[in-house]
Chains A and B, each alone.
Chain A
Amino acid sequence: DGGITQSPKYLFRKEGQNVTLSCEQNLNHDAMYWYRQDPGQGLRLIYYSQIVNDFQKGDIAEGYSVSREKKESFPLTVTSAQKNPTAFYLCASSTSTGTDTQYFGPGTRLTVL
């Protein structure tokens, strides 16, 4: 069953903690993306990766970090430097970057306590 999985579905973080969100895909896609979604706003790009061991900052990268050690996996760490981390986080993948359709995972809702 091909697709993109994200875990956990819900995540709670205390202030000052780092947390890592998982994203895995078995679509053999080269490109992967992380977005943040807040109520009433469009998706905002955090980081993206076009190929293993390479990634670029998006529009709102401050307070976040990523790694791309395997083609299938693109974990996102929300660090304590992110001042307002409560949001819905979406991972996506596509065959390549640019004019290729992005397919999304089910999302992780992060809440800071």
Chain B
Amino acid sequence: GESVGLHLPTLSVQEGDNSIINCAYSNSASDYFIWYKQESGKGPQFIIDIRSNMDKRQGQRVTVLLNKTVKHLSLQIAATQPGDSAVYFCAENSIGYSTLTFGKGTMLLVSP
């Protein structure tokens, strides 16, 4: 767990800033996308999901944007807090496939 973030891309922000974490996918047939948060030494937690018939979905302090034209997914976190520090990764799936494909993740570091 504590070494999950080794060698991952890192985004460093100040507390209160907005954070944007990006994810590119390659399968144009992907139609379901999920963002997970993983804290050190713990299992991934579901944050938010979006299906391909939507461009945007909002949750509490989080927004996911989907651009199918360029196969790009982003997670926006508003008013980032120190407790948001974690590894964030996206996952995707396509109709007819039984399993998700996971990205490698981005480490978010929030300074007080």
Would you call A109 an interface residue if the criterion is a C-beta within 8 Å of the partner chain's C-beta atoms? yes
Number of interface residues of B (CB under 8 A): 33
Quick check: A107 and B1 within 8 Å, CB to CB?
yes
Near A by CB (< 8 A), chain B positions 1-24 give 1, 3-8
* In-complex Cβ contact of A39 among B4, B45, B89 (8 A): B4
Kindly list chain B residues whose C-beta atoms are within 8 Å of the C-beta of A33.
99
Number of interface residues of A (CB under 8 A): 27
Quick check: A42 and B46 within 8 Å, CB to CB?
no
CA distance A43 to B105 in the complex (A): 10
Kindly list chain A residues whose C-beta atoms are within 8 Å of the C-beta of B91.
102
Chain B interfacial positions (CB closer than 8 Å to A): 1, 3-8, 31-32, 34, 36, 41-46, 49, 51, 89, 91, 93-100, 102-105
